[in-house]
A and B are shown apart, each in its own frame.
Chain A
């Protein structure tokens, strides 16, 4: 991919390449700051590999887990990639259901994904197939829950003043 192309052209390059994934790419949306690609879980590894090798998004900025309680696709991973030469960032989202919590690991593409995926496992209980050392990282080893899930209470459950209704949801 050439180093400096204008933003519209870069977005078009991405869209053209995504067409090859057919219906596995469920949507390409323009969010407030970045272009976001929604992909099905079975294609996420191939898509990230194509991003890295063909479109120049060679830097994994961050990846993190998400939890949307009450939705059919309850869990998700969000990857932020960066094409440093072109100065182009992109967001890739991949949602899954609560009973299918195993993603392919991307540690083979970026060694830096190692701890990021361990964090996702530690806090959301998302598993990564092929991860070399998938164990808790920030919480203690025998911690009984996945604390970033929305159903894990932050406050003392006997407290009355921290009701979700007061937080606008």
Chain B
């Protein structure tokens, strides 16, 4: 607290050389309902104005990078689930694609479009969580209760695809573990048909709501240049007016086949972050719709993986009746499949920014080193600068609009 410089306007309040004002130190977190995760911010306040913030993170650090050095490659997927758990399928697919890049596996188009569908569903779920929580923190509880039903429906789809709702561990290196069921396809089609109306409802509740705008416009702003210097990516960077989207700049998983808009904001404040996410959800719905159309046009209606028996577990009945599948089953479970020596960096557009995997392989059974570029770990350090000089209540809104996910932050 001693390092805080006294603001200029204090000079006016000096009475007989005595300083009548006092600073307050406030612990925002580590556990506080408004921080939506375990982060501590020690705020130095002058009344309600924030002068200085000291951040402490690492409360749920689980050493994923170290754990990954002792796990066969296919087991690392479960670690990625637990990073940004609001959109775990994107993390899963990002990891599979990193491995496919290292191994040089090319996937059939059908598999890639199925991945696109799941990743865009995850993006919608992620944005629903973030945007409804902005509403919640601004005092609008309705979206948090009503729009959340769409997230539930998306989780129902995950459940139908892989059996889990939150930590999905979905797909395998080289493709999918099984085809989507009829029910899963039906649910995907339903959500594409029904979600736009739900989003419109959400828009009509908050987008031009006077109270909401008063609370969020010019709250926690950051300019494009500053955002780039702080390593912002994802919706937060786009809200600051920089049209950087990994899906467009480094297309992966056939994103180049899709036609979509990258929405950008201008001032990088909470309102822009909110609107960019709102628009992105609509684009995601459109991408899913395009993917469904493309899948209908494909002559290939069955392939669910590339020809990589060394990475995808064979069907159980084959394991019991044939030799080759039995050998592969054993080798996969024991982590004995060959991996080339090499390094790759692969990134995907996660729910909150560029999620990167820097994988160094020395040919061993596990990665030699796996560095995870977690987007919110990188941009959360700009938080003190964004809330400095603002009100305490704005700090809460700014944090929820940045979509900082504790699991990813602390990895």
A interface with B by C-beta (< 8 Å): 31-34, 36, 58-62, 64, 66-67, 78, 80, 84, 87, 89, 91, 110-112, 114-116, 123, 137-140, 147-148, 152, 154-155, 162, 166-169
Give A91 to B373 CA distance when docked, in angstroms: 14
Contact A32 B356 (CB under 8 A): no
B200 at the interface (CB under 8 A from A): no
Contact B342 A66 (CB under 8 A): no
Contact B343 A62 (CB under 8 A): no
For B250, what are the chain A residues with a Cβ–Cβ distance below 8 Å? 87, 89
Contact A33 B344 (CB under 8 A): yes
Give A34 to B247 CA distance when docked, in angstroms: 18
**Those 6 A-B pairs whose CB atoms lie nearest each other, nearest first:** A112-B231, A168-B364, A138-B58, A64-B371, A62-B373, A138-B61
Contact A110 B343 (CB under 8 A): no
Contact B378 A62 (CB under 8 A): yes
Cβ-defined partner of B70 (8 Å) among A67, A139, A154: A154
For A64, what are the chain B residues with a Cβ–Cβ distance below 8 Å? 358, 371
Contact A137 B229 (CB under 8 A): no
Contact B58 A137 (CB under 8 A): yes
For A59, what are the chain B residues with a Cβ–Cβ distance below 8 Å? 228, 231
Assuming the contacts A112-B231, A147-B66, A168-B365, asked whether A31 and B343 have C-beta atoms less than 8 A apart, the reply is yes
Contact B365 A166 (CB under 8 A): yes
Give A64 to B65 CA distance when docked, in angstroms: 11
For B358, what are the chain A residues with a Cβ–Cβ distance below 8 Å? 62, 64, 78, 80
Give A139 to B410 CA distance when docked, in angstroms: 10
Contact A111 B344 (CB under 8 A): no
Q: List 22 A-B contacts (CB under 8 A).
A: A31-B343, A32-B343, A59-B228, A61-B373, A80-B345, A84-B242, A84-B249, A111-B229, A112-B378, A112-B379, A112-B381, A115-B381, A116-B378, A137-B58, A138-B411, A139-B58, A152-B66, A154-B63, A166-B365, A167-B70, A167-B364, A169-B364
Closest to A87 in B: B249
For A169, what are the chain B residues with a Cβ–Cβ distance below 8 Å? 362, 364
Cβ-defined partner of A89 (8 Å) among B57, B345, B363, B378: B345
CB distance from A67 to the nearest CB of B (A): 8
Cβ-defined partner of B63 (8 Å) among A31, A33, A147: A147
B102 at the interface (CB under 8 A from A): yes
Closest to A148 in B: B66
Closest to B58 in A: A138
CB distance from A49 to the nearest CB of B (A): 14
Contact B57 A111 (CB under 8 A): no
Residue pairs across A and B with CB atoms within 8 Å: the count is 102
Assuming the contacts A31-B342, A61-B373, A87-B250, asked whether A112 and B230 have C-beta atoms less than 8 A apart, the reply is yes
The digit string for B66-87, where 1 denotes a CB below 8 A from any CB of A, is 1101100000000000000000
For the residues of A in contact with B, the DSSP-based class is: loop
For A110, what are the chain B residues with a Cβ–Cβ distance below 8 Å? 229, 231
CB under 8 Å from chain A, chain B span 334-363? 342-347, 354, 356, 358, 360, 362-363
Give A134 to B365 CA distance when docked, in angstroms: 34
CB distance from B196 to the nearest CB of A (A): 31
B101 at the interface (CB under 8 A from A): yes
The digit string for B280-321, where 1 denotes a CB below 8 A from any CB of A, is 000000000000000000000000000000000000000000
Which of B230, B244, B360, B411 is most buried by chain A, counting CB atoms within 10 A of its CB? Answer: B230
B366 at the interface (CB under 8 A from A): yes
B150 at the interface (CB under 8 A from A): no
Closest to B225 in A: A58
Give A147 to B358 CA distance when docked, in angstroms: 19
Contact A112 B70 (CB under 8 A): no
Contact B61 A139 (CB under 8 A): yes
For A137, what are the chain B residues with a Cβ–Cβ distance below 8 Å? 57-58
CB distance from A17 to the nearest CB of B (A): 21
Give A119 to B311 CA distance when docked, in angstroms: 33
The digit string for B94-133, where 1 denotes a CB below 8 A from any CB of A, is 0000000110000000000000000000000000000000
The digit string for B250-279, where 1 denotes a CB below 8 A from any CB of A, is 100000000000000000000000000000
Give A14 to B345 CA distance when docked, in angstroms: 19
CB distance from A33 to the nearest CB of B (A): 5
Contact B58 A34 (CB under 8 A): no
